[in-house]
């Protein structure tokens, strides 16, 4: 019997796995330069944290959570996203009583029991950033600019930014009522009708053509913003324009999580098919209070690393074969040579040269094949005659040129060659 990775999950294998590490790093680099500190929270949390934080009416909470009782009967859930956990950690450790905003970034696995397809997985990776405790349009703009820089750093050209405002507790209730009234007049199935009461904004996000066709005249939140929300949104837009970050107003942009207020945005890539969002986020001024904390106006985003990678593939950014990290490959011939090679390879590694050797007692032919496949620049061939002469053959694998070097000098010689 053989096992397969669970449905909706996959393995990252070399050399792609090395590339994805670099992509995560590149997405994070702009955050580090902007004063965001690294936070790591547990992969599982109290189920109620997500139920309350993300919202009972969302697909994430109602259908997609990996929830299980632990042995003491606590209900735990594998995190479907990072924001609720970050707010929980900030409140728990009183970070909000220090300098504001608290700026944090994270990078890690998220889990959602979604219908899996290309770009939509049950286990996926996000890089995220949250700035907590400030109501300032410059902070919303900063985060959006940093995400745009991240995508630019990995070379993506086809990322589009969509933005919207969802209003706040002053103007949202009236908009919600207007939307509900409009939606009640439509021809919708029972599930969708139920949604009108719980979360009418989500109906705007319905992808089915028969629903979409009826939504044309739906009231838009931008037309119902109060003066404060309007001014805030205009300021975010003008800071983005001044920063040279292109965006498109999308008055129908709604997000799949309930905590958003005011600014919301999504980064989409057209090379990805239906799962086009490579990142998204927004302001969540009420989340802290929803979790029992004090008012803590905040904003943040998460970028989907797997989808960013797919977008890079779609743009042909990953085509060139990856360079090997190995510089030297040892080819020992015989047991004594193998013992000596083992030590020599260690010495090279300690000296900062990346090195590997043939294992499993291969003969010269097999071991040389290994050297070629490894991508190393040099092979070190050590036979019995070499050992007796306290020397080793250094073969340049590009030119096939071979020179004999005393064992006592070979580390220095190779260091000189590869650095």
Q: Which residues are annotated as a binding site for L-histidine?
A: 81-83, 112, 126, 130, 255, 259-260
Question: Cα–Cα distance between 193 and 9 in angstroms, integer?
Answer: 33
When binding is defined by CB under 6 A, the residue of 59, 168, 285, 306 that contacts ligand HAM is 306
Among 81, 140, 168, 285, binds ligand HAM (CB under 6 A): 81
- For 204-218, b/e burial (b = at least 16 CB within 10 A) is beeeeeebeebeeeb
Write down how long the chain is: 419
List residues bridging with 248 in a β-sheet.
Answer: 162
* 118/385 with CB nearer ligand HAM: 118
**Is 50 one of the binding residues for ligand HAM (CB under 6 A)?**
no
Locus of tokens 């990953």:
318
- Determine, following the binding rule CB under 6 A, whether residue 264 of this chain makes contact with ligand HAM: no
Does position 130 interact with ligand HAM (CB under 6 A)? The reply is yes
List the structure tokens of 16: 């792609």
Q: Of these, 106, 124, 175, 232, which contacts ligand HAM (CB under 6 A)?
A: 124
Beta carbon of residue 165, minimum distance to ligand HAM (angstroms, whole number): 15
Among 30, 55, 128, 219, binds ligand HAM (CB under 6 A): 128
- Burial 236-272, CB ≥16 within 10 A → b, else e: bbebbeeeebebeebbebbbbbbbbbbbbbbbbbebb
Among all chains, which residue has been given the structure tokens 């989409």?
268
The strands making up 159-165's β-sheet, listed across from edge to edge, are 37-38, 102-111, 123-132, 298-304, 277-283, 261-269, 159-165, 248-249
Residue whose CB is less far from ligand HAM, 147 or 331: 147
Distance (Å, whole) CA 302 – CA 126 = 6
Stretch that binds ligand HAM, among 94-102, 229-237, 294-302, 344-352 (CB under 6 A): 294-302
> Applying CB under 6 A, does 297 fall inside the site for ligand HAM?
no
d(CA 371, CA 374): 5
Please name the residue that has the structure tokens 């003969």: 363
Binding mask 83-112 for ligand HAM (x = CB under 6 A): x----------------------------x
Nearest 5°: phi and psi at 74? Answer: -75, 145
Contacts of 193 (CB under 8 A, 6+ apart): 184
Strand partners, 340: none
The only residue of 300, 330, 332, 370 in contact with ligand HAM, by rule CB under 6 A: 300
Residue 282 as a binder of ligand HAM (CB under 6 A): the answer is yes
- What's the rounded Cα separation, in Å, for the pair 271 and 183? 32
Options 192-200, 301-309, 312-320, 353-361: segment touching ligand HAM (CB under 6 A): 301-309
370 is a site residue for ligand HAM (CB under 6 A)? no
What's the closest the beta carbon of residue 124 comes to ligand HAM, in angstroms?
Answer: 4
Question: Measured from the CB atom, is 65 or 353 closer to ligand HAM?
Answer: 65
Sign for the pseudo-dihedral over CA of 285, 288, 289, 290: positive
Are 54 and 84 a contacting pair, CB within 8 Å?
yes
> Which one of residues 53, 167, 280, 332 is an interface residue with ligand HAM (CB under 6 A)?
280
Q: Which of 36, 265, 301, 309 binds ligand HAM (CB under 6 A)?
A: 301
Residue closer to ligand HAM (CB basis): 281 or 370? 281
Select the residue interacting with ligand HAM from 114, 205, 313, 315 (CB under 6 A): 114
Q: Which one of the spans 80-88, 208-216, 239-247, 384-392 is the region binding ligand HAM (CB under 6 A)?
A: 80-88
Radius of gyration of the chain (CA): 28
107 vs 374, which CB is nearer to ligand HAM?
Answer: 107
Binding mask 219-258 for ligand HAM (x = CB under 6 A): -------------------------------------xx-
Which residues would be at the binding site for ligand HAM (CB under 6 A)? 81-83, 112, 114, 120-121, 124, 126, 128, 130, 256-257, 277-282, 284, 300-302, 304, 306-307
């Amino acid at each position: 019997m053989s096992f397969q990775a669970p449905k909706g999950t996959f393995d990252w294998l070399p050399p792609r796995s090395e590339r994805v590490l670099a992509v995560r790093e590149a997405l994070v680099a702009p955050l580090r330069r902007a004063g965001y500190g690294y936070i790591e929270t547990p992969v599982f949390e109290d189920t109620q944290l997500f139920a309350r934080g993300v919202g009972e009416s969302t697909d994430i909470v109602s259908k997609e959570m990996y929830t299980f009782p632990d042995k003491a009967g606590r209900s735990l859930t594998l995190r479907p996203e990072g924001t609720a956990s970050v707010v929980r950690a900030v409140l728990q450790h009183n970070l909000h009583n220090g300098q504001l905003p608290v700026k944090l970034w994270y990078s890690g696995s998220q889990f959602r029991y979604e219908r899996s397809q290309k770009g939509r997985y049950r286990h996926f990776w996000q890089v995220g950033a949250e700035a907590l405790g400030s109501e300032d349009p410059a902070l919303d703009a900063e985060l959006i600019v940093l995400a745009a820089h991240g995508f630019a750093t990995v070379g993506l050209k086809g990322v589009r930014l969509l933005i919207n405002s969802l209003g706040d507790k002053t103007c949202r209730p009236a908009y919600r009522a207007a939307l509900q009234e409009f939606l009640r007049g439509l021809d919708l199935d029972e599930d969708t009708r139920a949604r009108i009461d719980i979360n009418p904004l989500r109906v705007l996000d319905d992808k089915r053509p028969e629903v979409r066709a009826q939504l044309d005249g739906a009231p838009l939140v931008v037309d119902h913003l109060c003066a404060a929300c309007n001014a805030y949104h205009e300021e975010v837009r003008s800071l983005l324009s001044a920063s040279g970050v292109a965006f498109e107003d999308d008055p129908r942009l709604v997000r799949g999580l309930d905590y958003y207020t005011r600014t919301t945005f999504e980064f989409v890539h057209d090379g990805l098919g239906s799962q086009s969002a490579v990142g998204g986020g927004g302001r969540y001024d009420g989340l802290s209070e929803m979790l029992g904390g004090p008012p803590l106006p905040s904003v943040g985003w998460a970028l989907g690393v797997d989808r960013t990678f797919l977008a890079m593939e779609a743009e042909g950014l990953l085509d060139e074969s990856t360079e090997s990290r190995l510089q030297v490959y040892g080819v020992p011939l015989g047991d004594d040579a193998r013992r000596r090679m083992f030590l020599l390879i260690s010495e090279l590694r300690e000296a900062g040269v990346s090195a590997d050797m043939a294992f499993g007692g291969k003969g010269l032919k097999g071991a040389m094949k290994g050297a070629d496949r490894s991508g190393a620049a040099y092979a070190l061939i050590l036979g019995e005659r070499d050992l007796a002469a306290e020397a080793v053959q250094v073969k340049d694998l590009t030119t096939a040129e071979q020179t004999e070097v005393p064992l006592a000098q070979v580390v220095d010689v190779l260091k000189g060659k590869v650095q």
